[in-house]
Amino acid sequence: MIRLLWQRLLWAIPVLWLVLTITFVLLRVAPGGPFDSERQLTAEAAAQIAAKYQLDQPVMVQYGSYLVQVLQGDLGPSFQYPDQTVNELIAYGLPISATLGIWALLLALLIGLPLGVLAAQRADKPTDFLIGITAVFGISVPNFVIGPLLILALAVYWPLLPVGGWNGGQMNHLVLPVITLALPFIAYITRLFRGALLEELQKPYITTARAKGCSESRVLWMHAFKPAMLPVVSFLGPASVGLITGSVVVEQIFGLPGMGRYFVQGALNRDYTLVLGVVLVVALLMLIMNTLADALYRWLDPRAGEQR
Amino acid sequence: MKIKLALSWLIIMSLWVIIGPWLSSQQPDFIHWDAMAQAPGSQFWFGTDVMGRDLYVRTLLGGRLSLLVALVATCMSLLIGVSYGLLSGYLGGRTDRFMMRFLDVLYALPFLFLVILLLVFFGQHMILLFIAIGGYIWLDTARIVRGQTLVLKKQAYVEAAQAMGQSTTRILSRHILPNLRGVVIVYATLTIPQVILIESFISFLGLGVQEPNTSWGTLVSEGVDNLQTAPWSLWIPGAFLSLTLMAFNLLGDGLRDYWDPKRLRPR
């Protein structure tokens, strides 16, 4: 396990560096600067602003100093929100996105796994068929279609829940965004777990357990459950990536001030430092989540470590 | 059953989207000042949006674009993904390890964010959209093709061909590629809905397809803005989008079950 973490740490360095460099190059090659939209500045003021944000330095110097800065954990000042640093903006937005993501993941597991078990128990019966169709539906309908429809149904026509907004993260403000974000993952986990369970239940050791007189529920929960979790666990890595991108849309729909919103706004406003900061944080999160998923996988299946 | 249902929607929808706009008397950009946000009816089959534009023609045109993006990006993904996976799998050894490592690095990048950046900074050209999505979506294809190639390359007929001294190009094109057909078709069918989803996702954020063009994602996002005054402008394009995605997913599932009941597993 320790070795895995070390490997991942070493692996993270080139990946993060690459992400940083690619975004930096993209941002600098792009036409249009961060201060273009403002009213015409005098040459003096423009020079002053450029000096403040080091835009007058050669690109390589900017790159170097940014790299050093980031290594010290400082993502620099925001171009668009002059009074705030990118660190502050992310520190404000990240908890909101994270809350959304964690709840959605929990919900996906808490609903997806039982549904998967149910479908596997009733394989090829009407219940299974119904769950299967619903799952395809859940995977196919994009969250930016489901979200607004949920708003229309549960907040406008039948005003049970607020239309949007964060409001300090009150529970009722969380319900719709979390459901919207979770739906495709519920569907995906259901399908994945059903398939894995069915495959597992055909293996010889299950036959042995049954022959020894284990009850069906003991066979399912004590024997088949853990190995069948493996595909679900390896899905958690990509799932977290999906949750991050999904929350960009969900934050847009429900007007939540999370990281995704900052990213879209920052990209539109050419807020160089903010965009770079968000992309770096997202890349870091992806690496962390993938590592966690891998660690969990190895804990469940120790053989996985030995093979490589 | 699944396959038939899915195929029939896809065929009907494609024909509708391609031919429909020519048969309709409405213009996509014409603004009916006297009929803004009108519910679906006999004159406007899908109603009008808040600007008084006919939604029927706009939905069909949006579909044309979504399908076009899907087609082009999927072809790109196949072209890059299949050749990359084929080479990596067949050549093996150090080349393979290097190529897979490279793929791992690409996997770790937050690609969707980079695609958005690319589109924002270099203008929302259609071609850029194609390249950006196509350049991102091929990773999975490459992995799968590599895995299959690894299995196929150990088959007796490939070894026979090698023993007979056939050239690598010939083995790849005559012996391995044809046997990849099934897998490639299945994954192409599963790539198409992903591409459509990504395109509409980006367009939904207002970063993809721009006026005067439209796509399902753009239409949905306009519908969301006018949720209360014109709900049909949300759910009609939304339904087209969702049904199409569902049909492709069902088709992909069905084909996968049909083609290889016991999937050949690499590793």
Beta carbons within 10 angstroms of residue A253's beta carbon: 23
Report d(CA B239, CA B230) in Å as an integer: 15
Residues of A in contact with B228 (CB under 8 A): 152, 156
Q: What is the pLDDT of residues A136-163, one digit of tens each?
A: 888 888 888 888 888 888 877 787 777 7
Is residue B261 pLDDT above 60, yes or no?
no
Per-residue pLDDT, averaged over A278-286, amounts to 85
DSSP B175: I
**B113 near A CB under 8 A:** yes
**B234 near A CB under 8 A:** yes
**CATH code for position B107:** 1.10.3720.10
Q: What is the pLDDT of residue A42?
A: 66
DSSP A76: -
SS3 B145: helix
Per-residue pLDDT, averaged over A180-193, amounts to 90
**B265 near A CB under 8 A:** no
Q: First and final CA of chain B: distance in angstroms?
A: 33
- Average pLDDT of chain B to the nearest whole number: 79
Closest CA to A182 of A246, A237, A230, A231: A246
Q: Between B108, B197, B250, which is nearest A287 by CB?
A: B108
Q: What is the pLDDT of residue A54?
A: 65
Report d(CA A238, CA B107) in Å as an integer: 10
DSSP B54: B
Residue B24 backbone zone (phi > 0: left; psi -120 to 50: alpha; other: beta): beta
Q: Residue B266 falls within a domain, yes or no?
A: no
Determine the residue among B9, B98, B109 to mutate to test chain A binding: the one whose Cβ has the most chain A Cβ atoms within 10 Å.
B109
Q: What is the pLDDT of residue A36?
A: 59
Q: Which residues of B57-88 are buried (b: 16+ CB within 10 A; e: fewer)?
A: bbbbbbbbbbbebbebbbebbbebbbebbbbb
ipTM of the complex: 0.78
Q: Residue B264 falls within a domain, yes or no?
A: no
Q: What is the pLDDT of residue B266?
A: 41
Report d(CA A241, CA A234) in Å as an integer: 12
Q: State the fold for domain A91-307.
A: MetI-like fold (1.10.3720)
Joined tokens for residue A28: 């600098």
Q: Between A15, A23, A253, which is nearest B117 by CB?
A: A23
Q: What is the pLDDT of residue A158?
A: 80
Give percent of chain B above pLDDT 70: 90
Residues of B in contact with A7 (CB under 8 A): none
Q: Indicate yes or no: CB of A145 within 8 angstroms of CB of B109.
A: no
Q: Which amino acid is at A112?
A: G
Q: Indicate yes or no: CB of A152 within 8 angstroms of CB of B234.
A: yes
- Residue B267's pLDDT band (cuts 50, 70, 90): very low
Beta carbons within 10 angstroms of residue A58's beta carbon: 8
Q: Residue B267 falls within a domain, yes or no?
A: no
Residues 6+ positions from A51 with CB-CB distance below 8 Å? none
pTM above 0.80, yes or no: yes
The CA distance from B164 to the nearest CA of chain A, in Å, is: 34
Determine contact, residues B11/B58, Cβ cutoff 8 Å: no
The CA distance from A282 to the nearest CA of chain B, in Å, is: 7
Which range marks the domain in which residue B100 is found? 2-259
Beta carbons within 10 angstroms of residue A75's beta carbon: 22
Cα torsion for B57, B60, B64, B70, to the nearest 10°?
Answer: 150
Report d(CA B117, CA A23) in Å as an integer: 8
Q: A11-25, A99-113, A255-269, B21-35: which range is least confident on average?
A: B21-35
Q: Indicate yes or no: CB of A144 within 8 angstroms of CB of B201.
A: yes
Residue A82: cis peptide before it, omega within 30 degrees of 0: no
Helix boundaries (H) for chain B: 2-23, 55-91, 93-108, 111-121, 126-153, 156-163, 168-170, 177-204, 216-225, 232-259
Q: What is the pLDDT of residue A30?
A: 67
Per-residue pLDDT, averaged over A97-110, amounts to 90
Q: Residue B231 falls within a domain, yes or no?
A: yes
- Residue A186's pLDDT band (cuts 50, 70, 90): very high
Q: Between A23, A148, A245, which is nearest B224 by CB?
A: A148
Q: Indicate yes or no: CB of A264 within 8 angstroms of CB of B204.
A: no
Q: What is the pLDDT of residue A106?
A: 92
Q: What is the pLDDT of residue A270?
A: 75
Q: What is the pLDDT of residues B93-105, one digit of tens each?
A: 888 888 888 887 7
Helix boundaries (H) for A202-258: 204-211, 216-218, 225-254
Residues of chain A with CATH 1.10.3720.10: 91-307
Q: What is the pLDDT of residue A222?
A: 82
Q: What is the pLDDT of residues B115-141, one digit of tens each?
A: 777 777 776 677 777 778 887 788 888
What sign results for the dihedral spanned by CA atoms A9, A11, A17, A23? Answer: negative
Per-residue pLDDT, averaged over A169-191, amounts to 86
Q: What is the pLDDT of residues A71-80, one digit of tens each?
A: 777 777 777 7
Joined tokens for residue B6: 């899915």
Q: Indicate yes or no: CB of B113 within 8 angstroms of CB of A136.
A: no
Determine the residue among B1, B205, B229, B263 to mutate to test chain A binding: the one whose Cβ has the most chain A Cβ atoms within 10 Å.
B205
- Residue B35's pLDDT band (cuts 50, 70, 90): low
Q: Which amino acid is at A285?
A: L
Is residue A224 pLDDT above 90, yes or no?
no
Domain count, chain B: 1
Q: A8-12, A134-138, B145-149: which range is least confident on average?
A: A8-12
Q: Between B112, B113, B241, which is nearest A142 by CB?
A: B241
- Residue B264's pLDDT band (cuts 50, 70, 90): very low
Q: Indicate yes or no: CB of A264 within 8 angstroms of CB of B108.
A: no
Q: Residue B220 falls within a domain, yes or no?
A: yes
- H or E, element range at A187: helix A171-201
